[in-house]
Amino acid sequence: MNSLKINKIEKIVSGKVQITGSKSETNRLLILQQFYPNLTIENASNSDDSILMKNALESSSNEINIGHAGTAMRFLTAYFSVKENSEIILTGSHRMKERPIKILVDALISLGADIKYVENEGFPPLKITGKKLTKSFVEIEGNVSSQYISALLLIAPTLQNGLKLKFKGDVTSVPYIKMTLQLLEEIGIAYSWENNLITIHPKPIISSKTIVVESDWSSASYYYSLCALSPNSEITLTSYKQTSIQGDAVLAKIYEHFGVETTFGENSITLKNKEISNINLLNLNLISAPDIAQTIAATCFGLGTECFLTGLHTLKIKETDRLVALKTEIEKLGGEVEITNETLHLKKAATIKENISIATYHDHRMAMAFAPLALKVPIVIEDADVVSKSYPSFWEDFEIVTL
């Protein structure tokens, strides 16, 4: 699919949508399943990033290309470092070669790993020669990406002496680290986290375990946005639970600001627009939930609400520089946005321009975050297929709830 023109949506139809499983949970569990084959995964994500991860783990080739999948790149770097008798070139898309990985590579090398840069120092591709790692203490900076820390935690219980991991400085995207630890705990691996030190004991085998992946909360954000932009709307999303291990479940709280009420059912959530009067200014720190920043900015823009979002420094090194992409695309629609390296200030907008073509920059979340604005104006989404990175059936599901 190239450009997708979305006519103005008249209203939301009270539909029911089953979103694919969490890509973050799935990509962790796929790694763990290699170490513990008696782990069974249900409701796994069908995202490109999870398929790429699965194929990489099953591949017999000595060159693996993981495309745009950041978690796969980071988790596989750690995985192949401990896979004895393997020699792999791990590479990715043009953008992946710009996404930094030095902090993780340095940490693994300090544990004894054999990793070399194939092109530019600090960036993929990597040549990884797998070996047994016997050291058990590592210090790592935590403010660039939590994925480096999760990568180390995923291999930790397979190390002969387990792992003590100490953070230097602040830590970003903390709920993703907690998700990794909670999944380890669910399969019977104990951990402790005191101050800036996480300890994981070695665990060569586990008892048989089945984990049902909850549906993806970051993907749910696009329905929260649709609901916020459509008075009286109601949407039900299945395979969600009240006690989620996904940090983006914070959406339920955040969208209360826009009048969206969440009711938790047995295995689902129902979003209802309660038509409260709009707030004038939303101030939010999204350091714990970076993946929903684009959705929130687009919702605010659609509602004409000013917002000041902080804690966004990791957005610069994701699928694209999401701060620049948001500013560029919102300004094409008639908005005014100021950005720094970690903040976004959306000024109160007057009117939204019609039939604007939104560039997506190989970023699934640009496509999905801007689509709900069709409730306000007809809009064009360029390269609409990008959604498959995390949510392949997004456009089919979008049609179910829109008229």
Ligand X SMILES: O=C(O)C1=C[C@@H](OP(=O)(O)O)[C@@H](O)[C@H](O)C1
Ligand Y SMILES: C=C(OP(=O)(O)O)C(=O)O
The conformation of residue 12, written as its DSSP 8-state character, comes to B
8 Å CB contact between 69 and 390 = no
Minimum distance of ligand Y from residue 90's CB (angstroms): 14
Quick one: tokens of 65? Answer: 């290309």
Binding site for ligand X (CB under 6 A): 24, 71, 145-147, 150, 172-173, 176, 290-291, 314
User: Does 291 sit near ligand Y (CB under 6 A)?
Assistant: yes
Antiparallel, parallel or unpaired: β 163-171 and 4-6: unpaired
Minimum distance of ligand Y from residue 72's CB (angstroms): 7
The length of the chain is: 403
Q: Nearest residue by C-beta to ligand Y?
A: 70
- Which one of the listed residues 291, 321, 383, 397 is annotated catalytic? 291
Of 293, 344, 337, 339, nearest to 319 by C-alpha is 293
End-to-end CA distance of the chain: 21
CA distances from 95 to 158, 339, 396 (A): 31, 21, 28
Q: Which of 30, 69, 235, 386 binds ligand Y (CB under 6 A)?
A: 69
Q: H or E stretch including 51?
A: helix 48-58
Helices (H), 97-216: 102-110, 146-155, 174-186
Choosing among ligand X, ligand Y, none, which partner's interface includes residue 176 (Cβ < 5 to 8 Å by kind)?
Answer: ligand X
Closest to ligand X by CB, 176 or 191: 176
Angle between helices 48-58 and 23-35 (to 10 degrees): 10
Choosing among ligand X, ligand Y, none, which partner's interface includes residue 390 (Cβ < 5 to 8 Å by kind)?
Answer: ligand Y
* Binding mask of the shown chain, residues 317 to 346, with x at each position contacting ligand Y by CB under 6 A: -xx---------------------------
The number of beta carbons lying within 10 Å of the beta carbon of residue 116 is 13
Closest to ligand Y by CB, 294 or 305: 294
Q: H or E stretch including 73?
A: helix 70-82
**CA neighbours within 13 Å on the CB side: how many for 164?**
7
Closest to ligand Y by CB, 159 or 245: 245
User: Does 95 sit near ligand Y (CB under 6 A)?
Assistant: no
Subset of 364-383 contacting ligand Y (CB under 6 A)? 365
Minimum distance of ligand Y from residue 102's CB (angstroms): 16
Is-catalytic flag, 291?
yes
- Which range in 37-45, 66-74, 150-158, 377-385 contacts ligand Y by CB under 6 A? 66-74
Choosing among ligand X, ligand Y, none, which partner's interface includes residue 365 (Cβ < 5 to 8 Å by kind)?
Answer: ligand Y
Catalog residues that contact ligand Y under the rule CB under 6 A.
68-71, 291, 318-319, 365, 390
- Residues annotated as part of the active site: 291
